[in-house]
Amino acid sequence: MRFLVGLLGILSAQAAFGWGLSSELNESWAGARLVFPALREKAITYCLRNEAPDRFDNESVALQVESALHLWLSAAGAEDVKISRLPNCSGSFHLLVQIGEEKRWPGLGSYQLSSWDKTHSYSLVKFDSGFVSNIGGSKTPIVDFRRFSRDPAAISAQLKRISVEEPQTVQAFAKASTLDPNAVFWSTYPSLIHELGHSFGLCDTYEAPMKDQCDPAYSTPEQPSSVMKDSTYFYLTTDDTTAIQRLFQRFR
């Protein structure tokens, strides 16, 4: 879950080894988290349900989903996991990315929820297309990260550049592109990196009344700035990398 704490985060990663695994990994519905199909099936199948195609481009969002998944899998040492998109969400899948109006939990912007579809469990990542941030007195809706690309046809290369080749924070990217950092923060790509961390099995490491809680047996007392704390990165900090590695080691 992403609350209005993001832009209050520190601009660069601090001391390493601040991480946590979700307490839900101890529950009966833990199988909805992506660490399990990644380890057992060497595959992650996802699908998109986009109720606002005029604002969010399906192919753009799909590229962002796959880029974020590869980012986490690479850090876990699981580059051999096959990622595939299921057309029309017909059949069994491990991950559903949904974009639409949120009525159950308005005000979150985006969230991850372990879910059940009569025949199989899966991780739901939901974007509230009606969400508007009011940080700094300006109204900022969630937008497709594709909006910030000078060449939408080359967005795949841009994602690789800012996440892998020349890793950038949200603030650094916004400054270099003369953009409002709040607008970049509330775009799909940084949100996806954070929410897919939950999909794998990581917890929120910030303090908030509503969050994916950390398991005290699998978390550290100190929690510096990271993707799973304040979401102000297009790359994984050392702490995020440690977290995903500990998660895969736990269930390998």
In a domain, 154, yes or no: yes
Q: Per-residue pLDDT averaged across 35-62, rounded?
A: 97
In a domain, 1, yes or no: no
Q: What is the pLDDT of residues 203-249, one digit of tens each?
A: 998 876 667 889 999 999 888 899 999 999 999 999 999 999 999 99
In a domain, 120, yes or no: yes
Closest CA to 39 of 72, 95, 70, 80: 80
Residues 6+ apart with CB under 8 A from 14: 224, 225
Q: Output the domain CATH number for residue 201.
A: 3.40.390.10
Which residues make beta-bridge pairs with 85?
Answer: 46
In a domain, 140, yes or no: yes
In a domain, 139, yes or no: yes
In a domain, 202, yes or no: yes
Of 29-38, 103-112, 205-214, highest mean pLDDT? 29-38
The CA distance from 142 to 188, in Å, is: 7
In a domain, 24, yes or no: yes
Provide the pLDDT confidence category of residue 11 given band limits of 50, 70 and 90. Answer: very low
The CA distance from 235 to 218, in Å, is: 23
pLDDT of 2: 57
> In total, how many domains does the chain have?
1
Q: What is the dihedral of CA 5, 48, 84, 119, to 10 degrees?
A: 100
Domain that holds residue 167: 6-251
Q: What is the pLDDT of residues 163-203, one digit of tens each?
A: 999 999 999 999 999 999 999 999 999 999 999 999 999 99
pLDDT of 37: 98
In a domain, 242, yes or no: yes
